[in-house]
Structure 1
Amino acid sequence: MSNYKSILVGVLFITACTNNEKSGSFIQGKTEKEQIAVVGKIAGRIQTIKVSQGDFVHRGDTLAILDIPEVEAKRAQAAGAVTSASAQYQMAQRGATANQLKQLNAKKKALEEQYGFARKSLGRMEAMVRDSLIAQQQYDEVFAKYQGAQAQLIAVDAEIADVQHGVRKEQQTMALGQQDRAEGALQEVRVAEKERYIIAPQDMTIETITLKVGELALPGYTLFNGTLDNSTYFRFTVPESQLKNYNKGANIEVTVPYKGDLKIAGFIKNIKQIGAYANIATAYPDYDIQDPLYEITIYPKEPISAKEILNKTTVTIKK
């Protein structure tokens, strides 16, 4: 039994040494894909979800439809406001109706008769006051009536002119502004109606769907997460002591273990310092914690060659 234990310990020791030697010859990293979040702009309940996780969708495809009852009520209200404002503007342009113009003309005719009588009476009074046949006060009373009749006739002429040429320009401008405001409110409702439809902003693969039918979607809340097509890249973390082995723009080969050690030809796109261990991509780092860390980003030379590699899977490069 003692000999058996010794043999077993030896085998384990040799295996561990072999694995350490093997793992020491490469650096592990992670597959990454450019991600995109699709959010809603207005509040509403999920009425329909038209995609499933894993589906590939094209830009412009409908992902979900929101139920927003308030939009329909606001649309009817805005449409009524537009109708009312348009009628007011047309009235301001056209002025009074034909019947109102007829009434004003009749009023003018009566005032013209009053004015004509007052003018004749004043003419007679002028001769009589010159001959001292009447008192000056009587003449003044007739003159006042003449002036009143004249003023009323001038006023009705001005009313008729306004009717015939439309109301004042300022009133027309005000009516037009009210019409524009009502049409703007209606346009806002139409935009909100379009926002009921959650649309894919780019070609993408749906990774997660955060809500279910019937749940409330708030403005700015992420409804779908997806990855962009042909956006796969690889991320590795190396200490400064190993940085001399990697140069920006250099060609490098990435191995994908779960794909049967598939080889992907790539190039180093970027090298940047990272400030926290929480950001590292390499599994089981064996370097000093005081050693500054750098992130190496590697892009495949042919993006389509990495299209089928799953996100967050382990990849390796040689040290």
Structure 2
Amino acid sequence: MSNSKKIISIVTLSVVIGWIGYSFWSAYQPRPELLQGQIEAEQYNISSKVPGRIENIYVKKGDMIEKGQAVFSLYSPEIEAKLAQAKAGEAAASALAEEAEQGARTQQVAAAKDQWRKAKAASQLLEKTYARVNNLYKDGVVAEQKKDETYTQWQAAKYTESAAYQMYQMAKEGARTETKRAANEKVKMAMGSVAEVEAYVADTKIDSWYQGEVSQVLLNEGEIAPQGFPVVSVIDMNEAWALFHVREDKLKNYTKGEVLKVYLPALDRTEDFKITHVSVLGDYATWRATDNSQGFDLKTFEIEAHPVNPISDLRVGMSAIVTVESK
């Protein structure tokens, strides 16, 4: 055999041996672990505080909406009727309060004054009558009984005059302070009822409290929307994060504030995510026991990591992969 063939054989044998050795070495090297999670985001449900029939829906699935943008409106004749009723109650309360403030009418004051003058004139007449009867009694012309009757009539007339005068004064002064205050408080109560119903009316025109993308439109125009039932769902991808479930024996490798390299298969790129939350409450998972002889199971803990930089085209439910090198 020539020297060149020997060299080729030796080289070939060395390569084969080296490949076999490398294969065995690689097979026994610890492989990196993959921590798989998914993308989550803030989701908001837009609903109304009052029930009603859907009149208009101004958005559709996939629309980007801003805070304050009109989303849907309700038709509710019952609320309109309640508003009319509340406004009528407010008007009635205001009229009663105005009456209490202004006091009795001019004609009522004049009538009370005339009643007082009438009672006064009757009292003066009976006073003179008693004086005459008393003189006749002293002269022995009339009996003592007649004198006593006339005196009693005079005193009764004086009390009638006093009562009529008090009624006249009450008519001039008007309602008591407590009555006026009570009337004014009733006006405030009626105004509060009107404001409450007006708030319900305003809530039939629903604007978004959030910005984001419409993910679901759960009711259509003409359908009945119960109180508090979500009509439109909005997802804000500006408030997105990656959610991972970490076994408790691996939890020590993840600390709040740490930056992870997260691979997003759907976007085929790796992005930086910062751990912002490590759950304080663990959940059971279907992991094997760490040691069958000890017989205890491991729990998992949720870890949330937010993107360090905004990521375009990010979607809820995308897989998020973290490669954990074995130590």
Report Cα offsets for 1:281-305 as digits up to 9, x if no partner. Answer: xxxx9x5373322222111112xx2
**Partner of residue 303, structure 2:** 296
- Is 1:32 equivalent to 2:40 in the alignment? yes
The 1-side partners of 2:278 and 2:95 are apart by 67
Tell me if the contact between 1:241 and 1:291 (Cα under 8 Å) persists in the aligned partners.
yes
The 1-side partners of 2:47 and 2:76 are apart by 16
**Partner of residue 318, structure 1:** 323
The 2-side partners of 1:292 and 1:185 are apart by 54
Residue type of the partner of 1:49?
I
**Partner of residue 206, structure 1:** 214
The 1-side partners of 2:63 and 2:49 are apart by 23
**SS of aligned partner of 1:306:** coil
Q: Percent identity?
A: 25
The 1-side partners of 2:274 and 2:91 are apart by 64
Tell me if the contact between 1:162 and 1:168 (Cα under 8 Å) persists in the aligned partners.
no
- List aligned pairs for 1:252-271, cutoff 5 A: 252-259=260-267, 261-271=268-278
Q: 1:25 to 1:37 in 2, by over 3 A?
A: same
**Partner of residue 52, structure 2:** 44
- Is 1:178 equivalent to 2:181 in the alignment? no
The 2-side partners of 1:37 and 1:105 are apart by 70
Residue type of the partner of 1:145?
Q
Alpha-carbon RMSD across the aligned residues, in angstroms, is: 2.2
**Partner of residue 124, structure 1:** 132
Residue type of the partner of 2:221?
V
- Is 1:60 equivalent to 2:65 in the alignment? no
Cα deviation for residue 255 of structure 1 reads 1.2
Cα deviation for residue 48 of structure 1 reads 0.8
Tell me if the contact between 1:36 and 1:226 (Cα under 8 Å) persists in the aligned partners.
yes
Long gaps (5+) in structure 1: 1-20, 278-284
Tell me if the contact between 2:112 and 2:171 (Cα under 8 Å) persists in the aligned partners.
no
The 2-side partners of 1:138 and 1:217 are apart by 88
**Partner of residue 6, structure 1:** none
**SS of aligned partner of 2:140:** coil
**Partner of residue 226, structure 2:** 218
Tell me if the contact between 1:230 and 1:307 (Cα under 8 Å) persists in the aligned partners.
no
The 2-side partners of 1:252 and 1:308 are apart by 20
Report Cα offsets for 1:138-190 as digits up to 9, x if no partner. Answer: 11111122122212221221122111111233332332333222222211211
Cα deviation for residue 229 of structure 1 reads 4.6
Q: 1:131 to 1:223 in 2, by over 3 A?
A: same
- Tell me the TM-score normalized by structure 1: 0.82
Deviates more, 1:105-114 or 1:65-74: 105-114
Report Cα offsets for 1:38-57 as digits up to 9, x if no partner. Answer: 22211111111111122222
Residue type of the partner of 1:136?
E
Residue type of the partner of 2:53?
R
Long gaps (5+) in structure 2: 1-28, 290-296
Question: Rg bigger for which structure?
Answer: 2
Deviates more, 1:242-251 or 1:159-168: 242-251
- Is 1:101 equivalent to 2:109 in the alignment? yes
**Partner of residue 140, structure 1:** 148
Tell me if the contact between 1:232 and 1:306 (Cα under 8 Å) persists in the aligned partners.
no
Tell me if the contact between 1:34 and 1:228 (Cα under 8 Å) persists in the aligned partners.
yes
- List aligned pairs for 1:188-199, cutoff 5 A: 188-199=196-207
Q: How many residues align?
A: 287
Cα deviation for residue 68 of structure 1 reads 0.9
Cα deviation for residue 231 of structure 1 reads 0.6
Tell me if the contact between 2:237 and 2:314 (Cα under 8 Å) persists in the aligned partners.
no
Residue type of the partner of 1:197?
K
Cα deviation for residue 25 of structure 1 reads 4.5
**SS of aligned partner of 2:266:** helix
**SS of aligned partner of 2:231:** strand
The 2-side partners of 1:131 and 1:220 are apart by 97
The 1-side partners of 2:211 and 2:197 are apart by 28
Q: Which residue, out of 265, 279, 282, partners 1:274? A: 282
**SS of aligned partner of 1:152:** helix
Residue type of the partner of 2:67?
R
The 2-side partners of 1:245 and 1:201 are apart by 39
Deviates more, 1:65-74 or 1:106-115: 106-115
Report Cα offsets for 1:59-100 as digits up to 9, x if no partner. Answer: 222211111101111111111111111111111222221122
